[in-house]
């Protein structure tokens, strides 16, 4: 009897604990929901402040919450869509009297994303409301957005770091040789350079030639846009950047006077003076940051329900490396994206799909799984249009090849039709330490891919044959999808990277334009041009996922101070090259990945 009551009391106690936990989670969820849907009030007269803090992205990348977050903290992130929506609402809002661009916190941004924000600023300016930009200093990306303003003001001792575009990499083959580490790289395509740092000590001539072509295109797009926005002559801009000492000397060493003389800015003044200039135009008004403005003009950050009941254009977003399986936001998981495409296929309200890609590529297997899902979607009568962002190369182009139409920005980095595989080996390193590897297997290839065993010529030949076959498959997909003879695709392939502008001329893309242009193209293909509504097709998310995605858009915490020394820069660059390779998870170790990293 005593044992019975003892068990009964334990059961009651456990039940009480469970009930308390359930109540606590319910209460916590209620608080989160209430907080996310809180709608603060706005002052009657508003100056919208675009205080962009972090990297400009289309999808928020989830951080790692383990020990790696201490050494490689994720940066803050700004969603392009959030800023565009804020400007669109502000243009129609009578309470918003102007915009102040506060861009010094913007850490990085691809040119196509900057162009999207430029377009949104121009739409705002059509409302007749002024836009003013001020800063102590501007980077090249920051200055592009500042140039969209009606008036551009700089601190009297400020700087504009306008330098052009460049591609530099740290080549670590020499270090690997000293450590006795062999890296076997198998590739198809003479321009395929993703693994070049492991096997070369400098940029190859083929790679240099290809990089020069698309770099010149990107710089041409940037310079042409500056001419349209500020009237800065392209030839003069190039001269100033190529002869900085001469240009500075002509202005008595005063950078501010140089920027004024070249019409890069409209005036040199202090922050409160610039704000006074803006208030002279709009009168008294309060600065409201765009995040607060979004919250105040919308019911929280939960996804909006579409207004129309039918004729939807499904938007599937994909950013980051292409990996196998289910993956979080900020990477493209094959299972995750296939599920989104299947959802779009099964939903009768969705008449067409726009697949937005921002990716350097990744796993060949994952890319093929997604490409096949696009093909199946089209077979079910739903047109698919691919919209390329800053980059849709290698595996990204593999996926895009199945679409009805491909749209890109002139500055999109695309192509890179090639394949590679990588097999590291530390046998020599172990031998230097006196460690030998020996054993036996039931076949010649049993245990042959161990990192502590030399790679046999026969197995190396087998891997190369596999790489060549997958490359041939890649070319076949492009040939069929783009209706280009395979021999012509082979000439355009070889792992070479193209700008969107060059890709249009070569037939690798159909048109140049934005995501909005791609949506209109999808509506045209589905015969719903007159009445359609874009609706984002999201993977299944629980409330915690939604909370994280919105909190992390600009609230990423850095646990370590920034390190600016040359040594830390080299180490971080090498770490990035290695981590990018080892993050990939193709079961066959075969990748369609571009190695492009743009400096600006």
Which residues belong to the active site?
Answer: 192, 394
- Say whether 102 sits in a helix, a strand or coil: strand
Helices assigned H by DSSP within 93-172: 111-125, 140-146
How far is 352 from 574, CA to CA, in rounded Å?
A: 42
Angle at 50 between CA 45 and CA 54, to 5 degrees: 155
How far is 319 from 329, CA to CA, in rounded Å?
A: 8
How far is 466 from 186, CA to CA, in rounded Å?
A: 9
How far is 244 from 249, CA to CA, in rounded Å?
A: 8
What count of Cα atoms within 13 Å lies in the side-chain half-sphere of residue 473?
Answer: 19
Backbone angles phi, psi at 174, to 5 degrees: -60, -40
Contact call for residues 525 and 354 (beta carbons, < 8 A) = no
Reading the block at residue 350, the tokens are 């969705």
Contact call for residues 358 and 414 (beta carbons, < 8 A) = no
Reading the block at residue 489, the tokens are 């695709």
The torsion angle over the Cα atoms of residues 18, 23, 26 and 27, rounded to 10 degrees, is: -140
Backbone angles phi, psi at 249, to 5 degrees: -60, -35
| CA distance between the termini of the chain | 79
How far is 199 from 524, CA to CA, in rounded Å?
A: 48
Residues 6+ apart with CB under 8 A from 7: none
How far is 539 from 536, CA to CA, in rounded Å?
A: 10
Reading the block at residue 243, the tokens are 């002869």
How far is 287 from 290, CA to CA, in rounded Å?
A: 9
How far is 194 from 578, CA to CA, in rounded Å?
A: 11
- Say whether 393 sits in a helix, a strand or coil: strand
Contact call for residues 302 and 37 (beta carbons, < 8 A) = yes
Reading the block at residue 358, the tokens are 């921002």
Q: Where are the extended beta strands (E) located within 62-167?
A: 77-79, 96-102, 106-108, 131-139, 151-161
Ramachandran sector of residue 540 (left: φ over 0; alpha: ψ -120 to 50; beta: rest): beta
Tell me how crowded residue 121 is: count the other CB atoms within 10 A of its CB. Answer: 23
The residues with which 533 forms a beta bridge, in sequence order, are: 312
How far is 372 from 365, CA to CA, in rounded Å?
A: 11
Reading the block at residue 97, the tokens are 């009297």
Positive or negative: CA dihedral 557, 563, 564, 566: negative
Tell me how crowded residue 16 is: count the other CB atoms within 10 A of its CB. Answer: 10
């Amino acid at each position: 009897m005593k044992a019975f009551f003892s068990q009964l009391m334990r059961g009651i106690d456990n039940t009480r604990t469970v009930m308390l936990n359930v109540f606590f989670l319910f209460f916590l969820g209620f608080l989160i929901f209430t907080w996310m849907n809180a709608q603060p009030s706005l002052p009657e007269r508003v100056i919208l402040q675009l205080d962009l803090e972090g990297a400009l992205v289309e999808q928020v990348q989830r951080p790692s919450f383990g020990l790696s977050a201490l050494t490689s903290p994720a940066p803050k992130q700004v969603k392009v869509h959030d800023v565009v929506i804020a400007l669109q609402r502000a243009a129609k809002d009578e309470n918003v009297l102007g915009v102040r661009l506060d861009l010094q916190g913007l850490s990085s941004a691809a040119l196509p994303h900057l162009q999207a924000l430029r377009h949104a600023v121009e739409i705002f300016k059509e409302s007749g409301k002024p836009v003013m930009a001020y800063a102590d200093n501007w980077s090249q990306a920051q200055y592009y957005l500042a140039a969209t303003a009606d008036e551009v003001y700089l601190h009297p001792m400020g700087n504009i770091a306008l330098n052009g575009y460049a591609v530099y990499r740290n080549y670590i083959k020499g270090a690997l040789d000293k450590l006795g580490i062999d890296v076997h790289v198998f590739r198809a395509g003479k321009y395929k350079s993703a693994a070049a740092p492991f096997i070369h000590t400098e940029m190859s001539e083929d790679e240099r030639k290809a990089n020069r072509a698309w770099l010149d295109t990107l710089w041409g797009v940037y310079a042409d846009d500056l001419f349209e926005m500020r009237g800065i002559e392209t030839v003069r801009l190039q001269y100033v950047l190529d002869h900085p000492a001469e240009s500075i000397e002509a202005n008595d060493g005063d950078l501010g006077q140089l920027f004024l003389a070249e019409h890069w800015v409209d005036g040199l003044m202090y922050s409160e003076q610039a704000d006074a200039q803006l208030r002279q135009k709009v009168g008294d008004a309060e600065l409201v940051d765009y995040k607060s403005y979004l919250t105040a003009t919308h019911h929280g950050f939960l996804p909006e329900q579409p207004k129309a009941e039918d004729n939807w254009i499904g938007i599937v977003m994909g950013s980051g490396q292409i990996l196998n399986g289910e993956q979080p936001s900020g990477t493209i998981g094959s299972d995750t994206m296939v599920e989104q495409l299947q959802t779009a296929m099964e939903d009768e309200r969705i008449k067409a799909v726009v697949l937005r890609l921002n990716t350097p590529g990744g796993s060949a297997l994952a890319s093929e799984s997604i490409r096949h899902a696009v093909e199946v979607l089209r077979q079910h009568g739903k047109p698919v249009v691919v919209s390329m962002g800053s980059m849709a190369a290698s595996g990204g182009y593999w996926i895009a090849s199945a679409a009805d139409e491909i749209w890109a920005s002139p500055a999109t980095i695309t192509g890179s039709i090639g394949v590679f595989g990588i097999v590291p080996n530390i046998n020599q390193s172990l031998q230097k330490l006196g460690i030998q590897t020996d054993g036996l297997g039931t076949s010649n290839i049993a245990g042959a891919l161990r990192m502590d065993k030399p790679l046999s010529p026969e197995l190396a030949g087998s891997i190369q044959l596999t790489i060549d076959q997958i490359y041939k498959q890649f070319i076949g997909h492009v040939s069929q999808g783009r209706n280009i003879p395979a021999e012509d695709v082979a000439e355009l392939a070889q792992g070479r990277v193209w700008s969107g502008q060059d890709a249009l001329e070569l037939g690798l893309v159909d048109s140049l334009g934005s995501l909005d242009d791609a949506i209109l193209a999808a509506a045209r293909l589905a015969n719903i041009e007159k009445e359609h509504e874009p609706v984002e097709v999201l993977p299944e998310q629980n409330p915690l996922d939604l909370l994280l995605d919105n909190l992390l858009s600009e609230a990423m915490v850095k646990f370590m101070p920034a390190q600016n020394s040359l040594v830390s820069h080299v180490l971080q660059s090498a770490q990035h090259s290695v981590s990018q390779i080892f993050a990939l998870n193709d079961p066959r170790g075969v990748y369609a990945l571009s190695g492009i990293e743009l400096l600006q």
